[in-house]
Amino acid sequence: MKTEFLKITGNAEEDREIILSAAKVIKNGGLVAIPTETVYGLAGSALIRESAPKIFAAKGRPSDNPLIVHIAEPSDAERLAYTTPLYYSLAEKFMPGPLTMILKKKDIVPSTVTGGLDTVAIRCPAHPIAHELIKVSGHPIAAPSANRSGIPSPTRAEHVLEDMDGRIEMIIDGGECDIGLESTVIKLEENGCIILRPGAVTAEMLSEVCESVTISKAVIEPAIAAEIKAESPGMKYRHYAPSAEVILIDADDNTFEDYVRRNSDGKYGVLTSDDDAQKFSGAVVLSLGKKGDAREASKRLFNLLRQADEIHLEKVYAQLPEQDGEYLAYNNRLIRAAGCKIIKLGKK
Ligand code: TXA
Ligand code: MG
């Protein structure tokens, strides 16, 4: 199949044409990759039974790993799922935005979308292109990240083209994604929630609305993530990994620097800040931005992991930041990129 690659220009008329032709693809049961504020999504109708299997096939993703359904307004969830008062309290604060809530599904959502589960993941994206496409097509949109399964999610349209050229009808290029890591996924309970996948909406932010916020063990304990049957099925697969080996070190700055220097063979890169870049003279520096800037590091991570492969690095060394709220999502992705292996050295 020929994949159309269409660039958003900022010219209202031209962009409208792009949305209209993308909406046509969706209504005909086809697939369009779209920008969202988190990562690029691989969009198909969440109401047409045949669309989800096409998404799984294009990604090479196991079909028991359910898809997120994207809606234009929080109240659009009524058609798809059984909402609760807590859903609306959270929606008021975090929708549109990078938060996905798991609710009990209604029959209208095909089981192909939810991997056979009786729940459905609902998200209301803030990106104008995603929002417009849902509105104009009149279909809620099932969309996983638009990468081939297992490798880093795409934060730029060129990444999608690398992975999906010839596999889907259309790619819309809306520039680089703002956040760079996927949405926070939560399961709702009576007055609280459980974080199944950390993202830009942090536990601290959620606790402004929820009486209790629990972080699923699979999120923070990598050994458990690798072994247990995770509540969020996506968490059980090796994920976000480039071909280069990611070597993740839990140590203070000096010990990390020392370790990298002692192991500096082959063509290797280091994920580090601009502030520390000059310490790693023999390495390709993969810059995370300013030291301690969790947002910038999150925005850059997937792009840097893809760059590592483009320039054929054999190894990428990375230091594990403190497990504080802001770095939780970054750490979670980095740990999975390293195949859940952490080398602990000395004290921090
Ligand atoms: O930011 C995002 O969420 C992006 C953009 C495109 O919206 N989408 C995304 O989708 O990351 P995906 O399919 O790559 O990840 C969805 C995650 C998976 O870990 C999946 O297992 C979990 O959400 N999930 C989906 N439906 C679920 C359900 N009913 N119960 C538990 N987990 C669910
Ligand atoms: Mg994904």
Q: What pLDDT does 229 receive?
A: 47
- Which pLDDT tens digit goes with each residue over 318-332? 999 987 889 999 999
CA distances from 8 to 24, 180, 325 (A): 17, 19, 34
How confident is the model at residue 346, as a pLDDT?
73
The closest ligand to the CA of 183 turns out to be 1
- Run of H or E residues at 106: none
For residue range 165-213, list pLDDT tens digits in order: 999 999 999 999 999 999 999 999 988 999 999 999 999 999 999 999 9
Instruction: Tell me if 66 CB under 6 Å of ligand 1.
Output: yes
**Contact between residue 323 and residue 332 where contact means Cβ atoms under 8 Å apart:** no
Which value, to the nearest 10 degrees, does the dihedral of the CA atoms of residues 171, 175, 176, 179 take?
Answer: -90
Q: Is 173 in the pocket of ligand 1 (CB under 6 A)?
A: no
Burial class (CB in 10 A: 0-12, 13-18, 19+), 130: buried
Q: Which atom belonging to ligand 1 lies closest to the Cα atom of 38?
A: 1
Percent of the chain scored above 70 by pLDDT?
95
- pLDDT value at 240 more than 90: no
Instruction: Please report the atom of ligand 1 found closest to the CA of residue 41.
Output: 6
Element (H, E) at 44: strand 41-45
Torsion of CA 307, 312, 315, 318, to 10 degrees: -10
**Sorting pLDDT into bands at 50, 70 and 90, what band is 218?**
confident
Convert the pLDDT of each residue in 246-261 to its tens digit: 999 999 999 999 999 9
Separation of alpha carbons 190 and 212, rounded Å: 10
Closest ligand 1 atom number to CA of residue 121: 26
Label residues 86-121 b or e (16+ Cβ within 10 Å = b). bbeebbeebbbbbbbbbbebeeebbebbbbebebbb
- 235 pLDDT exceeds 70? no
Q: Find out whether 155 and 35 touch, Cβ atoms under 8 Å.
A: no
| Nearest atom in ligand 1 to 185's CA | 23
pTM score: 0.95
CA pair distance 158, 149, nearest whole angstrom: 17
The answer to whether 153 and 240 have CB atoms below 8 angstroms apart is yes
Question: Using one digit for the tens of pLDDT, what is the confidence trace for 260-285?
Answer: 999 988 899 999 999 999 999 889 99
**Mutation choice for ligand 1 from 100, 119, 134, CB with most ligand atoms inside 8 A:** 100
Ligand 1 atom with the shortest distance to the CA of 100? 3
Residues 23, 45: Cα–Cα separation, whole Å: 10
For the chain, the first-to-last Cα distance in angstroms comes to 52
Which ligand sits closest to the CA of 236?
A: 1
Ligand in closest contact with the CA of 125: 1
User: What CA–CA distance (Å, rounded) separates 47 from 164?
Assistant: 23
Which ligand number lies closest to the CA of residue 240?
A: 2
**Is 117's C-beta closer than 6 angstroms to any atom of ligand 1?**
yes
Give residue 47's region: left, alpha or beta (phi > 0; psi -120 to 50).
alpha
Residue 150: alpha-carbon gap to chain centroid: 12
CA of 146 to the centre of ligand 1 (A): 12
Cβ–ligand 1 distance for 155 under 6 Å, the answer no
The two three-digit tokens of residue 124, written as one number: 């209301």
Q: Is 130 in the pocket of ligand 1 (CB under 6 A)?
A: no
Nearest residue CA, atom 10 of ligand 1? 144
**DSSP H helical segments within 210-341, as ranges?**
217-220, 222-227, 253-262, 294-310, 328-337
Q: Does position 223 have pLDDT exceeding 70, yes or no?
A: no
